């Protein structure tokens, strides 16, 4: 990426206007509304916060949401790496179609994914028994991992691999010792993204999860239940815990990207 060195002394106009619009819109749509969650969750005191956010029902819901998200992110990493490898390394009939299809989850509404899975359960029943009910719909988004790993894999120079081969390494050794270390940061980024998004997933899960408290009730559903009982502070408290976990993952992700850039660049 050959970007011109930017400086404030450019004659280009519009800095004040564009930055003003950006910060105003960002504040109105994202920052002020999000801060409402934190303020509202504490509005009825610590005791009530913990009663809602730390209840055993809420804890079970976090465990399910974040546990299923971790499992789904892991599945995505394994198969995402496989698909990225095949797309980057091999030329075969249908390669471009495969590449286009991988992005389908970006475009397909979650409600459609959810209702589609109900059809598959009803018709075959096999998939449901093999895959964890809550893990499957969130595992439905491998695109993130594929798209993060792909460019790194494409850039990984085959000269290094050739060197490893001439030095007597087997194909499997070359993969685990030479290729894998290069793509681990990208893979970790993909995992973090898949995890953060999977934990908050709602649309595709409620169609097929049983939504039974303590068993198959995900955290976003518990928020909606609280809202329907007009417990705004309770809903905000649970949302607050989910936001904090997501932000922690996001922070970790940024550190990883920093690490990745240092390693690649």
Partner 1 sequence: MTAAGLREPPAAKALLILAALAYVALMLLLPLGAVMYEALRKGWGLWHAAVTEPDALASIKLTLIVAAITVPLNTVFGIAAAWAIAKFDFPGKAALIALIELPFSVSPVVSGLVFVLLFGAQGWLGPWLDAHDIHIIFALPGLVLATVFVTFPFVARQLIPLMSAQGRADEEAALTLGASGWQTFWRVTLPNIRFGLLYGVLLCNARAMGEFGAVSVVSGHIRGQTNTMPLQVEALYNDYDFVAAFAVASLLALLALVTLALKSALEWRYRHELSAVH
Q: Which residues between 71 and 110 bind partner 1 (CB under 8 A)?
A: 79, 82-83, 85-87, 89-90, 92, 94, 96, 98, 100-110
Contacts of residue 244, Cβ cutoff 8 Å, sequence gap at least 6: none
Residue 167 near partner 1 by CB under 8 A: no
Look up residue 259 and give its two tokens.
Answer: 């690490």
Query: CB 153 → partner 1: shortest distance, Å?
Result: 12
Query: CB 29 → partner 1: shortest distance, Å?
Result: 6
Which residues ranging from 127 to 146 are in contact with partner 1 (CB under 8 A)? 139-140, 142
Look up residue 166 and give its two tokens.
Answer: 């001439």
Which residues ranging from 18 to 37 are in contact with partner 1 (CB under 8 A)? 18-19, 21-23, 25-26, 29-34, 36-37
Query: Within 10 A of 87 (CB to CB), how many other CB atoms are there?
Result: 20
- Please select the residue that binds partner 1; options are 12, 56, 167, 212, rule is CB under 8 A: 12
Look up residue 204 and give its two tokens.
Answer: 């595709």
Distance CA 42, CA 173 (A): 54
Q: Are 194 and 201 in contact (CB under 8 A)?
A: no
Our CB check for partner 1 shows the closer of 89 and 215 to be 89
Half-sphere exposure for 190 (CA within 13 Å, toward CB)? 29
Look up residue 37 and give its two tokens.
Answer: 């969650």
Query: CB 214 → partner 1: shortest distance, Å?
Result: 19
Our CB check for partner 1 shows the closer of 7 and 56 to be 7
Residue 255 near partner 1 by CB under 8 A: no
Residue 70 near partner 1 by CB under 8 A: no
Number of residues binding to partner 1, judged by CB under 8 A:
101
Distance CA 160, CA 258 (A): 23
Contacts of residue 121, Cβ cutoff 8 Å, sequence gap at least 6: 127, 128, 208
Stretch that binds partner 1, among 44-52, 53-61, 182-190, 191-199 (CB under 8 A): 191-199
């Amino acid at each position: 990426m050959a970007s011109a060195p930017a400086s404030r002394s450019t004659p280009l106009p519009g800095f004040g206007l564009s930055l003003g619009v950006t910060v105003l819109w960002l504040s109105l749509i994202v920052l002020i509304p999000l801060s409402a969650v934190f303020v509202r969750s504490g509005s009825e005191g610590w005791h009530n916060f913990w009663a809602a956010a730390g209840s055993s029902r809420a804890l079970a819901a976090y465990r399910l949401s974040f546990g299923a998200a971790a499992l789904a992110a892991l599945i995505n990493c394994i198969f995402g790496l496989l698909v990225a490898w095949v797309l980057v390394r091999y030329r075969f009939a249908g390669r471009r179609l495969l590449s286009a299809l991988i992005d389908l989850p970006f475009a397909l509404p979650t409600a459609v994914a959810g209702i589609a899975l109900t059809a598959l359960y009803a018709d075959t029943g096999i998939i449901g028994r093999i895959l964890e009910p809550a893990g499957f719909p969130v595992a439905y988004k491998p695109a993130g991992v594929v798209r993060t790993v792909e460019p790194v894999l494409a850039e990984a120079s085959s000269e290094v691999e050739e060197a490893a081969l001439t030095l007597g390494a087997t194909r499997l050794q070359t993969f685990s010792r030479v290729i894998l270390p290069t793509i681990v940061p990208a893979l970790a980024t993909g995992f973090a993204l898949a995890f953060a998004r999977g934990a908050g997933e709602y649309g595709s899960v409620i169609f097929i999860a049983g939504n039974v408290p303590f068993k198959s009730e995900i955290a976003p559903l518990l928020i909606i239940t609280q809202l329907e009982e007009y417990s705004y502070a309770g809903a905000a408290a649970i949302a607050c815990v989910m936001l904090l976990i997501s932000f922690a993952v996001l922070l970790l992700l940024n550190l990883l990207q920093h690490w990745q850039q240092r390693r690649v660049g």
